[in-house]
Chains A and B, each alone.
Chain A
Amino acid sequence: MSALLQVEGLRVDIPTPMGLLHAVRDVDIALEAGETLCLVGESGCGKSLSALALMGLLPRAARRSASRFEFAGEDLQRASEGRMADLRGNRMAMIFQEPMTSLNPSWSIGNQLEEGWLRHRGGPAAAARERALHLLERVGITGAANRLGQYPHQLSGGLRQRVMIAMALMCAPALMIADEPTTALDVTVQAQILHLLKELQRESGMGLILITHDLGIVARVADRVAVMYAGEIVEQAPVEQLFRRPSHPYTRGLLECIPVPGRLAPGARLGTIPGVVSPPIGALQGCQFRNRCGYAEDACATRAFELREIGGGQRLRCRLDAAAPA
């Protein structure tokens, strides 16, 4: 079976006044049709830039490189900007975190939904309208016909995000990238949106890359998980394996930080990760997590660490071996 998306050695470098920011380094992403990969990590870990790099939507100053970059068998490193524009919104689509800023306030919902279809498929406007109506209903928007004439400010946050999802689905993409699609939403709406995304994925067989900082979402949605820290994937595993046997000290630290109902005694202290992320600027050496890690040794400052297989499809970038299952 050939993968839907096959990216190896992805790098994103951004010049800053302090030096070159190595925002994404050595990231491998392989995704099959129908599969969900979660990229998880905290602010600044490079998860959103990785997604933008995949879509070819990086800021102008950023430089992207990869040793392999294939989407549905096509080498995208050789694709022209015109070819990318043909693919985006058509075969690959993206949902952004903040639906208010990613919808155009001066266009009606209907026009925004139809634009992509008309650009990629052409044909009569009536067909585009029909597709837009169908998808608005599909994403659970009541009174869809009236909504088409409304503007983003007339919709609640949850409705706007549903519109974004409907828009991404217009041309039935093979790959959907969702960057924190529910972070701005209420928990009830979050559950509805994620439920909907998974259902649509089951129907259409699209590959889904979901970017989040929320380990609860990861556990419920992912097939495979990649944990990112300071621009690198530090651990990667099938979802059950990651939660059963988190092995990187950063992954374990993250899991201990989150309150889980019923797990801790009332008033018990949560785990913490001391220190702050140092941005990966300039010449980098050793493990970037070492200054916050309880297991760091002298060698962690100098040695280069590969993401190596530790069994069961789990890969780890650390001097330590696999942890004992929790």
Chain B
Amino acid sequence: MFRGSRTLHAVNGVSLELRRGEVLGLVGESGCGKSTLGRMLLGLMPASAGEIRLEGRPIAEFGSRELARRVQPIFQDPYSSLNPRKTVGAIVGLPLAVHEAEAGRSAQRKRVQETMERVGLPARFFHSYPNQLSGGQRQRVAIARALVMRPEILICDEPTSALDVSVQSQILNLLEDTRREFNLTYLLISHNLAVVEHIATRVAVMYLGRIVEEADTASLFRAPRHPYTRALLASVLTPEPGLGVPDTHLGVSYPNPIDPPPGCTFHPRCAEAMPVCRAHAPAALADALGRVECHLYDNEVS
């Protein structure tokens, strides 16, 4: 029953830059490490190697309080990310109670009410409990809680995946409005490429802990370079009747991340795999279009 423990490299050799004011979409299949990366950026998990810097300073040097002031999360499931025994007012106000206890209760209450109003939560919900709210309203509570400290960066991990489509569009509009109003920077973790295309300015594609391609949204969707990106985009079912369901040619399923394939970890599923892909991991090619890790572009490196 107890076999020796082995290390799972959930996030492996990732170099990523989040630029002020952008929406960076992080896409990939479940288990690719995108949520782990998000947790590390929130300071909830340390990196085993390497460094995460915020404005040039390693986040390890920030206290958890200071980091939480500047980086806030929005999680996928507003049914489990809100404390069912606290009122909406208490949930949204908790960061203030922690960080600005000296501000006084009435000032805190005013901030909570302003933030609730800003995200479209009627003031009458102040004394409501999460179970009295719909899924969309709960996600607004989660957004209000993230915004109440006026952070600079929001890590949004699948913020609309648990919601109905008509509610999803309201939340996406709200995220876009608040980003403009408060000059926020977003990391948007999502497996929904249509959502990413809609609000991200830049996209990073993750596969088995690596970022295999990175480019601005328009060029990534217009001319994807990595075969995995192409397969991902091909599997997006746009509402166009008559096109049928595409065959992604991905064949075998997602590998077990504890036992990644040798060479390029994508080669067993890649339609364009060459002998070199089985033996050597590709180096990153960075150019004006972005960054891609694939042997198809090797001659462009040399």
> A260 and B165 in contact (CB under 8 A), knowing A188-B231, A191-B234?
no
Contact A269 B164, beta carbon cutoff 8 Å: no
Task: Digitize B223-256: 1 where CB-to-A-CB distance is under 8 Å, 0 elsewhere.
Answer: 0000000011011111111111111101011100
Chain B residues contacting A272 (CB-CB under 8 Å) are 166, 169-170, 173
Contact A217 B254, beta carbon cutoff 8 Å: no
- Chain B: minimal CB distance from A176 (Å): 16
> A240 and B241 in contact (CB under 8 A), knowing A216-B236, A259-B197?
yes
> How far apart are the CA atoms of A257 and B166 in the complex, in Å?
6
* Of listed A186, A187, A190, A215, residue having the most chain B CB within 10 A: A187
- Chain B: minimal CB distance from A312 (Å): 14
A192 contacts partner chain B, Cβ-Cβ < 8 Å:
yes
Chain B residues contacting A42 (CB-CB under 8 Å) are 164-166
> How far apart are the CA atoms of A142 and B250 in the complex, in Å?
13
> A213 and B164 in contact (CB under 8 A), knowing A157-B30, A219-B240?
yes
Contact A191 B239, beta carbon cutoff 8 Å: no
**Secondary structure type dominating chain A contacts:** helix
Given A156, A243, A253, which contacts B239 in the complex, CB threshold below 8 Å?
Answer: A243
Chain A residues contacting B29 (CB-CB under 8 Å) are 186-189
Contact A43 B169, beta carbon cutoff 8 Å: no
> A142 and B252 in contact (CB under 8 A), knowing A266-B201, A271-B169?
yes
> How far apart are the CA atoms of A214 and B169 in the complex, in Å?
13
> A254 and B166 in contact (CB under 8 A), knowing A191-B246, A198-B244, A276-B134?
yes
**A interface size (C-beta, 8 A):** 50
Chain B interface category by residue count:
35 or more
> How far apart are the CA atoms of A254 and B166 in the complex, in Å?
6
- Chain B: minimal CB distance from A325 (Å): 13
A273 contacts partner chain B, Cβ-Cβ < 8 Å:
yes
Given A159, A192, A243, A270, which contacts B173 in the complex, CB threshold below 8 Å?
Answer: A270
> How far apart are the CA atoms of A254 and B238 in the complex, in Å?
14
A-B contact pairs, 27 of them (CB 8 A): A42-B166, A142-B252, A156-B254, A157-B30, A186-B29, A187-B192, A187-B235, A188-B29, A189-B253, A191-B235, A192-B250, A194-B245, A195-B245, A195-B248, A198-B244, A216-B239, A240-B241, A253-B166, A257-B166, A257-B168, A259-B169, A260-B194, A261-B194, A261-B197, A272-B166, A272-B170, A276-B134
Known: A191-B246, A258-B239. 14 other contacts (CB 8 A): A157-B30, A186-B29, A187-B232, A191-B237, A214-B237, A240-B241, A243-B239, A256-B169, A257-B165, A257-B168, A258-B165, A258-B169, A262-B221, A267-B199
Residues of chain B having any CB pair with chain A under 8 Å: 29-30, 134-136, 164-166, 168-170, 172-173, 176, 191-195, 197-199, 201, 217-218, 221, 231-232, 234-248, 250, 252-254
